[in-house]
Structure 1
């Protein structure tokens, strides 16, 4: 009995994953639960485990390939004799998809040596590597794939390449569907080249976020005198009650942000695959710095939590992320993100959207300024600088300014956080 290995869905918005590395070769014995390959999505890298014990009969995709969620990436069988049969069916289908009409030299191999020899002969011919999805898209749009430069593994043409050609024209000389000269195509595979795995994923995510959205950042300060006074009072009362809760400024800002998102739902939205979804629920991402990079664990249903429970959960998810225990559920599903750089002394910055979210709030270092009070007397005032990045495709500057106004109302009138 054979068992297919499929591309899993690692997050709410994941539609495809990238094959990072195969840990087993065709013919190797595998145990149920053993890591067979590593895949990466928009936010993390994860190992795919063997669904059964047996022999790896086929690798239907190669390292660097982009595969849609639910598609088959390989096959495991219970007996070694199934290898030739599986390869005879699976490899022939793959070859028909990859090899141009001019070549027919790669035959189904029965041994590793024959497969290597056939691959060498095939590489000497003209080949067009293209994913099934990209081929279908090209056919639907009547595009000539010979004029498209593939940026996937082994120069494979992916759906991103088809979308690029549709928008800006062919990569090679020939008819241009948009009647524009095509600039050099960006090699997606080169993004983050030479960096550790996590940094490479971060590099790709940041570039993709900037490429798919029109990002703009607004900056504004809020008076924090009353907020800081509330924090001090809460700390004293918690200490007297001997409760194991730590109320930080981040927790209070998070609570204010949650209330502002419920008041102004335009900002509590995601824009993905041409669909805009506004959420009633607030799933708050908390950007968490690690030595090797950055993760964004998520506090689910944050709008249902009191200040105390919010403090506990922010601490829990951040600790889990830093400890290397972050799983798919912890890192997915956010509708809005907060990133706090106050501890570094930075006042204002331009945070990049945690795609596909519509907004991200940057929090800067607490400042002290001399101001005039209502009696025209000079006094020292604490202020918190905010940097709100939003997607200008779906929100205008006035929308972002309105959200900041609501947020600052809660920061400057912190008793409202108790409601």
Structure 2
């Protein structure tokens, strides 16, 4: 018996749903609940699961197609006893060939043993030079669109400074069993500084500054080559231990394939830490609709003034603050960055 699978309601309000990549191909057998296709909205990249067990006969909605809730996206051959509220019988017709159509050859396929959204990418169409390209994932395309929009519409300016990391290092060593993450210190310092600088708790709408709906601080995470931002909720009122545990738990959810962890959730500001990659400093791109983003470089020995007033060698880290110049001016942003440094140095 042939059934048509419809696009389910993803609770995305009126946002457009776009097909990202199919994880199986025509002719393959799927089980009920198995991830079938990755889709993209303006809020998230998520997986849609198969609602029945059977053989995929036809992919109706191709990669990059825009679809609506209720549109038929795929056709299955299932046992007569299969039941699903999201499926309906299609008109009787001859059994089609299950050979992979040309359009499906360039769609990514889930890798054997893959989990947590880590899918092998099939090679896409061959370029005139003979080299084969690789299709971007839904998450990569979503991030690319947002960051391209940011650079094209937000007048960035950048401030850079250093901070002495001795206090953080001592705190981490004293709480070795807790395994405090570096990001927890940056999240808390940023949140506390935001509490004293009102403009960084607002976003620009037309010619008005509108209060942000959240005071969460996002942590940029690279997972399987894709960029995600994990928000830490109300971090100014939490201890470093609590923030560290929250970050670790959310990262584990992301690695475990939790679809909710892959959703785009709002934050007031984002931090991006490339220090672990041996990067000294970089200028990050603001994540809309946020007003600023903090880039963090590696910690390394530097010449600094010690507490006794003498010059000495201390571990220092670098910070780069990217700011929307429509929202904050240079001096205001500089004082905000200095407040972050003071929080870090008194951790």
TM-score (norm 2): 0.67
Matched, 1:317 2:250: yes
C-alpha displacement at 1:215, in angstroms?
2.3
Q: 1:45 corresponds to which residue?
A: 45
C-alpha displacement at 1:351, in angstroms?
1.0
C-alpha displacement at 1:60, in angstroms?
9.2
Q: 2:343 corresponds to which residue?
A: 410
Q: Secondary structure at the match of 1:263?
A: coil
Q: 1:118 corresponds to which residue?
A: none
C-alpha displacement at 1:72, in angstroms?
4.5
Matched, 1:284 2:210: no
Q: Secondary structure at the match of 2:7?
A: strand
Which has the larger share of strand?
Answer: 2
Q: 1:388 aligns with which of 307, 317, 321?
A: 321
| C-alpha distance 312-112 of structure 1, shift in aligned 2 (>3 A) | same
Q: Secondary structure at the match of 1:309?
A: helix
| C-alpha distance 30-226 of structure 1, shift in aligned 2 (>3 A) | closer
Which has the larger share of helix?
Answer: 1
CA contact (8 A) 1:218 1:387 kept: yes
TM-score (norm 1): 0.57
Q: 1:211 corresponds to which residue?
A: 152
Could you tell me how far apart the structure 2 residues matched to 1:194 and 1:21 are?
12
C-alpha displacement at 1:343, in angstroms?
1.6
CA contact (8 A) 1:284 1:300 kept: yes
Could you tell me how far apart the structure 2 residues matched to 1:293 and 1:330 are?
10
Could you tell me how far apart the structure 2 residues matched to 1:36 and 1:61 are?
12
Q: 1:332 corresponds to which residue?
A: 264
Could you tell me how far apart the structure 1 residues matched to 2:203 and 2:342 are?
24
C-alpha displacement at 1:204, in angstroms?
3.3
Could you tell me how far apart the structure 2 residues matched to 1:72 and 1:385 are?
50
CA contact (8 A) 1:7 1:17 kept: no
Matched residue pairs, number? Answer: 293
C-alpha displacement at 1:404, in angstroms?
0.7
Matched, 1:194 2:138: no
| C-alpha distance 330-271 of structure 1, shift in aligned 2 (>3 A) | farther
C-alpha displacement at 1:44, in angstroms?
5.0
The aligned runs of 1:8-407 (5 Å cut-off) are: 8-9=10-11, 15-21=15-21, 33=33, 37-42=37-42, 45-49=45-49, 63-66=63-66, 72-74=70-72, 77-81=87-91, 194-197=134-137, 198-232=139-173, 234-235=174-175, 244-270=177-203, 277-279=210-212, 281-321=214-254, 323-329=255-261, 331-335=263-267, 336-373=269-306, 377-407=310-340
